[in-house]
């Protein structure tokens, strides 16, 4: 089976990564969940099973408090650390197909120029497989049929484009395999590790096309095209390589899973779809590549079972409880599965599921100490926008204040903006709720997962448009229901959510009591001028979705909070990574300068060894401690005492 491992992320999307504070927290206020328990590294996380099913790998802190890869034999307690990262911690890793090595990605201080490293499990030797300064490894492709090779996409030849390179995993030799013609965003290989599919973007009209070829010597030809506004992507080749499983919105509002003939482009079969939600994860049989199940997430995630082979397994896994599960690993015999189980009011859990015995064995919880605390429930709600659009949202009321009215409210805005909020455990949400705040998360128009009409309803609607109106309408809903105190409302977000924070304070200044902006842009024109070179093929789509701000100065000034800083009336806190490749530090610098020139209150914290979001434990602990004090001062919630954190790179500017 081909395994695709990608670090491609949605534009501006911010994942609030978990990190371990290795310093002891100060004395806790009674009842408070310690920040280090919420934002620290998990005790253990991200388990994977070796291809032969005999070993389990996972991430856990080293003695220095840095996330590393550990391996143990299933049924034994011979756990050993096999990697030795000493700075940022490892977040993504994958087993080699022969089980002799493990691969992981790592960048330098948040610059997102990831390298692929290989750990030899026989001697713990670590090798940089892509040792090129300033070069980004985008994804790797692996196949059972070729366990000694790997395909990796790199922007080595041209910083704007990713070519495919073939890596010999024994010698480390790397050779150019497939050259990018100039517009390819992602690559796909068949089970023989031959690159035969590519998704390309037209830089003139923003359309996306699927390119295919019969073999490595054949010319590329266009099989399908999605005009701007439609969504499509490749899931996998079929076993015989004669057809493709595709995600597509052509002919429908939401994306569905279809099977398409490679020779003719004819749709052979519609496999699964849902009228309300785009398709999510696809579970493929590792031997015959048939589709076994497809997930869909409207209010909550659920599975459509398509193969009788797994029906009983899914029924057994549903007995774990009222949370959500996903199959995140399988051994080569397909007798053992790694299952991730998620609830809203408990830490993440992982199970080893034995398909023959039909039994689930708990491997570990991400943070078992959280079981000593009462976490808050997250409730899905659908809020109507002023023009009638349904906004799938999530309301979390502090467990200690259930039923109480008039609570201080934090509107917590997701990044992307082409991403979404989902139901389930969130350290940020639990932290805010534990401090006494109701938390509202809104999937405003432009959020993904709800069909192309909802996605495209946000085109050209940044800042003063309906994307921001949706957030305003959600706050008004919370006020109308008596949930929120109108004098204690904060808007808080990262990346696009940071932009929405600035826009909320600048364009609706009487609605909020304070704001927290993490790595958010303030001037859309300078944002687009500073994007990484490898975003160039996607820029046309960004312009179509946002507006041509580089050529329309009036539009840029209308939607960029920088030019409306004088309207802000309430305190603002800004956090920024100095090495952010997506939202350049200039975005924060210029906003702070504009506010201070008007005598407005803004706290500004720069972390010199971070990028788009914070990874290092000391930096996360420092930042969230400062935010907690800021919120307590402006909203009146509880706060764990903050103190200077040794090792943090923070600069108070």
Q: What are the strands, taking DSSP E only, across 213-358?
A: 221-226, 232-237, 243-248, 256-261, 267-272, 279-284, 291-297, 301-305, 324-330, 336-342, 349-354
Judged by DSSP in three states, 498 sits in: helix
Candidates 83, 447, 495, 525; catalytic one: 495
Q: Is residue 426 a contact partner of residue 513, using CB atoms and an 8 Å limit?
A: no
In sequence order, the 6+-apart residues with CB closer than 8 A to the CB of 37 are 367, 369, 370, 373
Candidates 190, 313, 580, 609; catalytic one: 580
d(CA 641, CA 653): 22
Phi and psi angles of residue 113, each rounded to the nearest 5 degrees, phi first? -85, 75
d(CA 533, CA 527): 13
Look up 414 and say whether it is catalytic.
no
Look up 146 and say whether it is catalytic.
no
Q: What are the strands, taking DSSP E only, across 407-561?
A: 407-413, 438-442, 484-494, 514-518
User: Measured at the alpha carbon of residue 172, what is the angle toward residues 171 and 173, in degrees to the nearest 5?
Assistant: 90
Look up 612 and say whether it is catalytic.
yes
DSSP letter at 566 equals: G
Q: What are the strands, taking DSSP E only, across 85-182?
A: 93-95, 101-106, 115-120, 126-128, 137-143, 149-158, 161-168, 174-178
Q: Which two tokens stand for residue 254?
A: 């939401």
Burial class (CB in 10 A: 0-12, 13-18, 19+), 353: buried
Judged by DSSP in three states, 306 sits in: coil
Candidates 249, 331, 612, 648; catalytic one: 612
- For residue 152, count other CB atoms closer than 10 A to its CB: 25
- Tell me which residues are annotated as active site: 495, 580, 612
């Amino acid at each position: 089976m081909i395994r695709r491992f990608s670090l491609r992320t949605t534009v501006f999307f911010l994942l609030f990564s978990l990190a371990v504070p290795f310093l002891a927290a100060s004395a806790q206020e009674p009842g408070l969940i310690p920040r280090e328990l919420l934002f620290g590294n998990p005790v253990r996380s991200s388990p994977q099973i070796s291809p032969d099913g005999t070993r389990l790998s996972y991430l856990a802190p080293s003695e220095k408090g840095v996330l590393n890869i550990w391996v143990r034999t299933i049924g034994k307690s011979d756990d050993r650390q096999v990697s030795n990262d000493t700075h940022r911690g490892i977040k993504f890793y994958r087993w080699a197909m022969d089980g002799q090595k493990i691969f992981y990605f790592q960048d330098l201080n948040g610059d997102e120029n990831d390298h692929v490293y290989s750990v030899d499990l026989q001697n713990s030797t670590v090798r940089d497989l892509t040792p090129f300064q300033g070069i980004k490894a985008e994804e790797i492709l692996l196949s059972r049929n070729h366990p000694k090779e790997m395909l990796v996409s790199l922007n080595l030849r041209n910083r704007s484009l990713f070519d495919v390179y073939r890596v010999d995993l024994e010698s480390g030799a790397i050779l150019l395999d497939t050259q990018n013609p100039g517009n390819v965003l992602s690559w796909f290989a068949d089970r023989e590790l031959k690159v035969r599919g590519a998704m390309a973007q037209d830089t003139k009209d923003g359309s996306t096309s699927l390119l295919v070829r019969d073999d490595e010597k054949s010319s590329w030809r266009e099989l399908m095209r999605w005009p701007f506004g439609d969504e499509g992507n490749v899931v996998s080749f079929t076993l015989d390589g004669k057809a493709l499983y595709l995600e597509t919105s052509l002919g429908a509002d939401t994306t569905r899973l279809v099977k398409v003939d490679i020779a003719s482009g004819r749709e052979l079969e519609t496999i699964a779809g849902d009228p309300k939600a785009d398709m999510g994860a696809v579970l493929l049989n590792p031997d015959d590549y048939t589709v076994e199940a497809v997930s869909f997430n409207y209010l909550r995630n659920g599975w459509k079972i398509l193969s009788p082979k797994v029906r009983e397994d899914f029924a057994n896994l549903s007995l774990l409880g009222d949370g959500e599960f996903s199959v995140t690993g399988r051994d080569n015999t397909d007798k053992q599965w790694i299952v991730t189980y998620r609830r809203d009011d408990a830490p993440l859990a992982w199970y080893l599921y034995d398909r023959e015995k039909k039994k689930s064995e708990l491997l570990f919880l991400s943070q078992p100490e959280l079981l000593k605390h009462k976490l808050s429930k997250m409730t899905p709600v659908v809020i109507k926008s002023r023009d009638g659009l349904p906004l799938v949202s999530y309301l979390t009321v502090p467990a200690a204040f259930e039923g109480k009215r008039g609570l201080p409210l934090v509107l917590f805005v997701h990044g992307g903006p082409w991403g979404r909020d989902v139901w389930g455990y969130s350290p940020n949400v639990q932290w805010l709720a534990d401090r006494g705040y109701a938390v509202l998360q809104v999937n405003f128009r432009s959020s993904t997962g709800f069909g192309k009409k909802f996605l495209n309803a946000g085109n050209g609607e940044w800042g003063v448009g309906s994307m921001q109106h949706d957030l305003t309408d959600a706050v008004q809903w919370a006020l109308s229901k008596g949930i929120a105190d109108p004098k204690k409302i904060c808007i808080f977000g990262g990346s696009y959510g940071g932009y929405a924070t600035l826009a909320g304070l600048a364009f609706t200044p009487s609605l909020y009591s304070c704001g927290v902006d993490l790595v958010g842009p303030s001037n859309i024109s300078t944002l687009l001028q500073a994007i990484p070179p490898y975003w160039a093929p996607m820029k046309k789509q960004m312009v179509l979705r946002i507006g041509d701000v580089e050529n329309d100065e009036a539009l840029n000034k209308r939607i960029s909070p920088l030019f409306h800083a004088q309207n802000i009336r309430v305190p603002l806190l800004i956090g920024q990574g100095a090495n952010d490749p997506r939202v350049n530090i200039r975005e924060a610098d210029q906003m702070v300068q504009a506010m201070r020139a008007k005598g407005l209150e803004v706290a500004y914290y720069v972390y010199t060894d971070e990028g788009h979001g914070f990874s290092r434990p000391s930096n996360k602990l420092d930042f969230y401690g400062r935010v907690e004090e800021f919120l307590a001062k402006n909203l009146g919630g509880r706060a764990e005492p903050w103190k200077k954190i040794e090792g943090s790179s923070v600069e108070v500017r």
